[in-house]
Amino acid sequence: MREIIYFDNAATSWPKPQETLDAMDHFNRHVGANPGRSGHSLSIDAGRVLMDTREALAELFGIDEMLRIIFTKNATEALNIVTLGLLGPGDHVITSGMEHNSVMRPLRSLEDRRLELDVVRCSASGEIDPRDVEQAIKPHTRAIILTHASNVTGTIMPLSTVGAMARERGIVFCVDASQTAGAIPIDVNEMFIDLLVFTGHKSLYGPQGTGGLYMGPGLEKQIKPLIMGGTGSRSEFEHQPEFLPDKFESGTPNAMGIAGLGAGVRFVLDTGVENIHSREMELSARLLGGLLEIPGVTVYGGGDAQRRTPVVSFVVSGMSPSETALLLDEDFGIMSRPGLHCSPSAHHTIGTFPEGTVRFSIGYFTTPWEIDYALNAVEQLASRQEEGALA
Amino acid sequence: MTATDFQVVIFDSVSSALLAEKILKKLDIPFKIIPVPRHISSDCGVCIRFSARERERIEGSLAGRVGIQTILPL
């Protein structure tokens, strides 16, 4: 079997910890029931699995009430609950020029229905100036939606500063932590976060099909659910319950996936977010430093590995990103992601639209050897290209 | 009231009942999760049964933290 170097952890982390796989296997073999739908002991056990996962997530994010955590199938669904459920005609919303389409597309669709949207410009390295956010605030600003870190450049946003600004003015502060939850410390109270969107299958090491939303006190009264239906509670009523998490959790949940997510979050808590972060920063510095030294390679985003997630976007001169990624896969077994990464806005900001970049995203399980191997591969491609150009 | 008198806490959801379970376990208060008795509610969920003499401790530790509908003698 050929060697596989998996550098696409920003799309989904792989491999998963053994604990994640074991928890899902255990759920399927020994629990299996529908959580919260019956009074029998297996159904209660399934309910406990969900509750244990909420407890682990609450511990990770400094959340006081674990029932304020809503499970969704991914971060996109959680962002749609926020955007489509909270915002309406006449509201003003601020976001950044580094957002993923899971933020931009629902917002653009609301813009067609008289939502007023301000996209704050970021620097070419993807950084936002909090003063620009402050200047964009209007009397009718309802929400500020900001990514914690860009999925294209890894640039980390100044959450606490923007969060304090929003809190002072009674503006809802929503953070998309898809790229950071589990990899960088997050505390919803310290960062003034009202709505925290997370995905389960990246740095929380759960399976695909898991994600969620933390909803701050009182917001459940302002946000409409996207999906309504059976919740196992108040079954005698034909109206959707108003309390959390049931208001936003209709239908049978992905209990097997949430079992895996719970084990993934426990893995993060046991390993320590700080330890994960410093290991990833060490690996990231090695990758970033190496790429910057290769002639013919342009790296996007800031050059300081400490101020970004372990995501590096680059282009080999004279070679399209898709061609580079194909050669990395076919000739070297390296899995990367070329193109726009579902973030056209971010690529406009860093000046790589519409061609995009090649993205390497490493993770906690990446080894220094894999990084050196990949650097060597990129170097070979770049020099091949140069020789081709000279010939 | 005798030691065998039981009461039940009825919650607004199964999630609340399971959150109450977490809280009571940590406090070492004896209780049992049972399906909601049909004569009490038509809800298909679960409730927490406890000995009547624990009522004060149970109420004190859950009030304000968990969505409780009512507490009733069984």
pLDDT tens for A227-260 read 999 888 877 788 999 999 999 999 999 999 999 9
| Terminal Cα-to-Cα distance of chain B (whole angstroms) | 12
Structure tokens at B1: 């009231």
Q: Tokens 């108040």 belong to which residue?
A: A234
B37 touches chain A (CB under 8 A): no
Structure tokens at A261: 């997510």
Q: What's the mean pLDDT in A30-55? A: 93
A50 touches chain B (CB under 8 A): yes
Residues of chain B contacting A39 with CB distance shorter than 8 Å: 34-36, 44-46
Predicted confidence (pLDDT) at residue B20 exceeds the cutoff of 70: yes
Contact in structure between A233 and B13 (CB atoms under 8 Å): yes
Across chain A, mean pLDDT equals 95
Statement to judge: residues A287 and A267 lie in one domain: no
Let me know if residue A5 belongs to a domain: no
B12 touches chain A (CB under 8 A): yes
Statement to judge: residues A39 and A174 lie in one domain: yes
Q: What is the pLDDT of residue B42?
A: 67
Let me know if residue B1 belongs to a domain: no
Which of these three, A271, A288, A319, is where a domain ends?
A: A271
Predicted confidence (pLDDT) at residue B44 exceeds the cutoff of 90: no
> What is the CB neighbour count within 10 angstroms for residue B37?
14
Q: What is the pLDDT of residue A97?
A: 95
Contact in structure between A95 and A120 (CB atoms under 8 Å): yes
Q: Which domain holds residue B35?
A: 6-73
Residue-wise pLDDT tens digits, A260-314: 999 999 999 999 999 999 999 999 999 999 999 999 999 998 767 778 899 999 9
Number of structural domains found in chain B: 1
Let me know if residue A282 belongs to a domain: yes
Residues of chain A contacting B67 with CB distance shorter than 8 Å: 67, 243
Let me know if residue B36 belongs to a domain: yes
Predicted confidence (pLDDT) at residue B2 exceeds the cutoff of 60: no
Count chain A–chain B contacts defined by CB atoms under 8 A: 65
Q: Which of A219-228, A339-348, B24-33 is the least confident region?
A: A339-348
Task: Say what the ipTM of the complex is.
Answer: 0.87
Q: What's the mean pLDDT in A24-52? A: 93
Q: Which domain holds residue A120?
A: 18-271
From the CA of A142, how many Å to the nearest CA of chain B?
A: 29
Q: What is the pLDDT of residue A1?
A: 58
Predicted confidence (pLDDT) at residue A15 exceeds the cutoff of 70: yes
Let me know if residue A69 belongs to a domain: yes
Q: What is the pLDDT of residue A119?
A: 97
Q: Tokens 């020029």 belong to which residue?
A: A97
Statement to judge: residues A97 and A183 lie in one domain: yes
Let me know if residue A368 belongs to a domain: yes
CA A200-A204-A208 angle, 5° bins: 35
Let me know if residue A91 belongs to a domain: yes
Let me know if residue A9 belongs to a domain: no
